[in-house]
Structure formats: C-alpha cells, structure tokens
C-alpha cells in the first residue's frame, strides 16, 4: 500500500492500526479505519455512493444469534 493510498483513507480516530486491531469497537477496511465509539466522519460528496449502495456493515455488541438475525430481517436485511 502506498503512502498516497493511506493519505486517502477515511478515519475518525488517531489510534494506531495496532490499537484498533485489538479493539472490539473498530471496523477495519482497506479504505477506512473506524472506531464506532467515536463520531462518524464526514464523507466528502464525491466519495459518497449514489442511490442505494445495496450493502451495509452491521456491528453487533454481543454474539450474533438467531435473535439478532431476526432483528436484522425485521429491518429489511435479506442475507
């Protein structure tokens, strides 16, 4: 990964990658490092998906069980 690529990575935290890897409140993506305990960063308009992206990230605070899956289905999730 190039330094330029890392400069364009979306992040809402100053924590290091090592710290985030050990956190149960982190979502680590190739183009984003997010700490779900922090506020969501503003995403520039030119980087936002247009329309319904068709995919979403869901983070559970506990075990993913049938009850949790039922809540997702009620919210409209299908996979």
pLDDT of residue 73: 93
Q: Would you place residue 74 in the very low, low, confident or very high pLDDT band (cuts 50, 70, 90)?
A: very high
Burial class (CB in 10 A: 0-12, 13-18, 19+), 36: middle
pLDDT category, 6, cuts 50, 70, 90? low
Tell me which long-range contacts 62-71 makes (C-beta under 8 A, separation of at least 24): none
pLDDT digits (tens, 9 = 90+) for 15-45: 988 999 999 889 998 888 889 888 877 777 8
What is the model's pTM?
A: 0.60
Position 63 confidence tier, pLDDT thresholds 50, 70, 90: confident
* DSSP 8-state symbol, 43: P
């Amino acid at each position: 990964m190039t330094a330029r690529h890392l400069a364009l990575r979306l992040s809402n935290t100053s924590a290091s990658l090592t710290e985030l890897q050990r956190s149960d409140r982190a979502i680590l993506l190739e183009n984003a490092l997010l700490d779900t305990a922090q506020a969501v960063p503003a995403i520039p308009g030119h980087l936002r998906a247009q329309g319904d992206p068709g995919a979403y990230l869901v983070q559970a605070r506990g075990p993913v069980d049938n009850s949790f899956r039922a809540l997702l289905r009620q919210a409209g999730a299908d996979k």
